[in-house]
Structure 1
Amino acid sequence: MHKITQVQVKPNYTLALVFDDGTAGEIALGDRLFGPMFEPLKDPSLFAQVSIDPFGALCWPNDADLAPDALYHAVRKQITN
Structure 2
Amino acid sequence: MPHPIYRVQSCDVVAPFTLQLRFDDGLERHIDFRPMLAGELFGPLRDLALFNQVRVDPEVHTIVWPNGADFDPATLHDWPEHEAAFRELAQRWEHASA
TM-score normalised by structure 2 residue count: 0.73
Please tell me the residue identity of whatever aligns with 2:73: P
Question: In structure 1, what is the equivalent of residue 48 of structure 2?
Answer: 44
Decide which of 71, 79, 83 is 1:74's aligned counterpart: 79
Moved >2 Å (runs of 4+): none
* Higher RCO, Cα 8 Å, sep 6+: 1
Q: Which has the higher helix share?
A: 2
| CA RMSD across the alignment | 1.4
Structure 2: give runs of 5+ residues left out of the alignment. 82-98
**Percentage of matched positions with identical amino acids:** 36
Structure 1: give runs of 5+ residues left out of the alignment. 77-81
Q: Which has the larger radius of gyration?
A: 2
Is 1:19 aligned to residue 23 of structure 2? yes
Q: Which has the higher strand share?
A: 1
